[in-house]
A and B are shown apart, each in its own frame.
Chain A
Amino acid sequence: MSIPKIRVRNLKKYFGTKKVLDGVDLDVAPGTSLVVIGGSGSGKSVLIKSILGLVTPDSGVIEIDGVDVLSAPRAQARALREQIGMLFQNGALFDSLPVWENVAFGLLAEKKIARRSARAKAIEVLAQVGLADNVADLSPSELSGGMQKRVALARAIASEPAIMFFDEPTTGLDPIMGAVIDELIVDCVKRLGSTSIAITHDMASAVRIGDTAAMLYDGKITWTGPAAELLTTTNPLVDQFTHGRSEGPIKMALRR
């Protein structure tokens, strides 16, 4: 059995007295896409930020390629995390830089390539997400929401990462643009052979981009299974969440 690309065990994170992650266990096999679903504030973003090293968990194990990044030497943990590309929920594009420099930012920082070559590579990657070279010199604020998302996706894939994280990739987009972004994500992940984790509230998106799915509830993973079964599973938590029912165990938990 192959080593999971990402393995999380008993991950815990509290903010003060607020329990956010309470023993999360997760495996993501190499070359597969996992979708994590869960309500607002359920800790989905904290989970991927913990793997990225942006949040320090209170305890637990996070392994990338079999190495625990929480206990590994700083340089080794950094090198392992450098294989992760991230698409942030709101794009998180740098306002002060033109589009091409946003896309090439990681290339300039990691690979120290010349600016001219970086620009050419950025235009090439922009084409892969369906953007023409005439957007390269625009400022991010001059782009529509959908175009900003594409630029953010281009930035995430520019250095061809082995692992990709997508935080609410279709939030704020109309259904058609959401489907387009999902197709681009699937295309990029397959083309690069990457392992990915996406977190989303959008069930159509979850089914489109995920091979497997997991539900995060009350600080724990309460269900895992094929993403295609998200809408048909009999698990009461997943069933209520995916169908958006107000009655069910999740509401009961909130009342308690």
Chain B
Amino acid sequence: MNAILNGIAHIGAAVLNALGLVGELAIFAGTGMFAIIRPPYYPRMIGRALMEIGYFSLPVVSLTALFTGMVLALQSYTGFSRFNAESAIASVVILSVTRELGPVLAGLMVSGRAGAAMAAELGTMRVTDQIDALSTLSTEPMQYLVAPRLIAGMIAMPLLVAIADILGVMGGFLVAWLKLGFNPHTYLVSSFTHLRTDDVVSGLIKAAVFGFIIALMGCFNGYRSKGGAQGVGAATTSAVVSASILILAVDYILTQLLFTK
């Protein structure tokens, strides 16, 4: 009987912990969003975060998009050639990349690179009292550290995804032309015939939301880290894992909201 009660108590404690964490995250996100609109503003910090999230993530996002587009063209050809639908490859590649693969893969890559870096930097600042030091120097840490990263995430990700879209489509185009023997002109015409503005815009909206999620989870986990190097390591892992899961979950919700026939 005691074993059953202990088991229920453990489950209850885990549920309460999880709810507490969700509450903490919600308060952190709310405070962060309020910090975005409330002065003072720190343009230098926004610029620095833009470089970290955007510019330095460009190589990894570009390569991911390029190879994904190439693989997508090859795999689509394998499937579509079995029922003589090869002509649909161009549309499939461009729609998949702009609506789905561009934002999601860029989000996962940026989460692994910039999200982890944010958590590690803020975590180190937390365990070495640098965040407390900011407070003693008339600077609100949420405004100085978190708000610029949230803003930069929402700006940098759509820009990265726009580039990823172009490179992904280009990857598919190169494979279709050079490997599968498609006529380049016909492929390009076919690509853009079925592409609509909302295909691209929905991907960019997703990208902005994913950018917010990456920055939020990086800052949240770093900000509350404790216990020295081990705590910073745990915060970094948690930032990447939680951002990746949230990106995939929110992707479904956004796809449902932005769904068009």
Contacts and interface: CB of A to CB of B under 8 A. Distances in A.
Interface string B126-145: 00111011011111000000
Interface stretch (A3-11, A58-66, A103-111, A219-227): A103-111
B133 A92 contact: yes
A121 to B, nearest CB: 14
Contact of A106 (B121, B125, B130, B138): B138
B129 A109 contact: no
B137 A88 contact: no
B128 A92 contact: yes
A192 to B, nearest CB: 16
Interface stretch (A30-38, A46-54, A198-206): A46-54
Interface string B108-135: 0000000000000100110011101101
Interface string A241-252: 000000000000
A109 B135 contact: no
A77 to B, nearest CB: 12
Given A90-B129, A92-B128, A92-B130, A84 B136 contact: yes
Interface of B is mostly: helix
Contacts of B125: 94
Contacts, number: 42
Nearest to B133: A92
Contacts of B133: 86, 88, 92-94
B135 A82 contact: no
A110 B134 CA distance: 12
Contacts of B136: 52, 54, 84-86
A89 interface: yes
B130 A109 contact: no
B176 to A, nearest CB: 46
A52 B129 CA distance: 13
Interface in B136-172: 136-139
B137 A92 contact: no
B177 to A, nearest CB: 46
B137 A106 contact: yes
Contacts of B129: 88-90, 92
B45 to A, nearest CB: 10
A105 B137 contact: yes
A86 B137 CA distance: 9
Given A54-B136, A92-B133, 15 more contacts: A49-B132, A52-B135, A52-B136, A54-B132, A54-B135, A86-B133, A90-B129, A94-B130, A94-B133, A105-B137, A106-B137, A106-B138, A109-B138, A109-B139, A110-B137
6 contacts: A52-B136, A53-B135, A93-B130, A105-B137, A106-B137, A109-B138
A-B pairs with the 7 shortest C-beta distances? A92-B129, A92-B133, A106-B137, A86-B136, A110-B138, A109-B138, A88-B129
